Amino acid sequence: MASGRVQGKVAVVTGGARGIGAEIGRLLAAEGATVVVADLAPAKDIPTSAEGGPADYRRVDVTDEASVRAAFDDIVATHGRIDVLVNNAGVPGPIKPSHEVVEEEYDLLFAVDVKGVWLCTKHAVRHMLERGGGSVINMSSIYGLVGGARIPLYHAAKGAVRMMTKADAATYATSDIRVNSVHPGSIETQLSTSLSADPSPEAAAYAQRMLDNTPVGHRGTPEDIAYGVLYLASDESRFVTGTELVVDGGYTAV
């Protein structure tokens, strides 16, 4: 039952075309926000407001500063301000040990998952400083909290997102800009399916290990993550900055 928890706010959700980002967009819109999706995907792949989706959309490559700057300036010109930025766009990167990863794979992973968070923060915060506040929510992962053997560089990238969050929280606290990270466990989306979909025994073992290590005994849904983001986007969390919101069915508790 929606009750306007982010009523009147303008929220930008990167990677909001599908998966966790699409659900964040839907929930923030249902709770009263004007949601703008910023995604690499073409307009035809974006949920419409008639489907409970975002009010607006900008095609953005988060790795490209000119694209991010133009989109964020245009969003402010159209909607007046940015109150909430959800840095959700991300890719898993290569499923390989570090010594087998090639430079292009490393560069793409860090361009999307780390540089993209920095660039979108940079161009949203410019406007938040002018307006006097805001909430930035960075999508890290449980893999930004603990290590693991299968996708080592993803752990490194999500660890960087966690620390960027804390440093930015300290930097902008006196400007009323809060910065927090969210750390999902295994959530049913295209990204997580791609990690366990290949027919190798390692992939099946990985999927089983994820489940075995999740005390609640099942994977989460995009909605489980969206409710955490909703709290951090709303004024209910006005004293919360630099924190790590772990939403993982207990994975990191054991």
Tell me how far CA of residue 120 lies from CA of 53, 86, 92, 111, 252, in angstroms: 21, 9, 19, 12, 28
Binding mask 103-132 for ligand NAD (x = CB under 6 A): ---------x---x----------------
Determine if 3 is a binding residue for ligand NAD (CB under 6 A).
no
Q: Which stretch binds ligand NAD (CB under 6 A): 13-21, 71-79, 123-131, 172-180?
A: 13-21
Rounded least distance, CB 190 to ligand NAD, Å: 4
For 172, the enclosing helix (H) or strand (E) is helix 152-172
State which of positions 130-169 bind ligand NAD (CB under 6 A).
Answer: 139, 141
Q: Which of 47, 53, 90, 152 binds ligand NAD (CB under 6 A)?
A: 90
Cα–Cα distance for residue pair 248/203, rounded to 1 Å: 20
State which of positions 171-200 bind ligand NAD (CB under 6 A).
Answer: 184, 186-187, 189-192
| In contact, 125 and 165? CB cutoff 8 Å | no
Tell me how far CA of residue 237 lies from CA of 7, 168, 193, in angstroms: 15, 17, 32
Cα–Cα distance for residue pair 248/254, rounded to 1 Å: 11
Pick the closer one to ligand NAD by CB: 40 or 129: 40
Q: What residues line the site for ligand NAD (CB under 6 A)? A: 14-15, 17-21, 39-41, 60-63, 88-91, 112, 116, 139, 141, 184, 186-187, 189-192
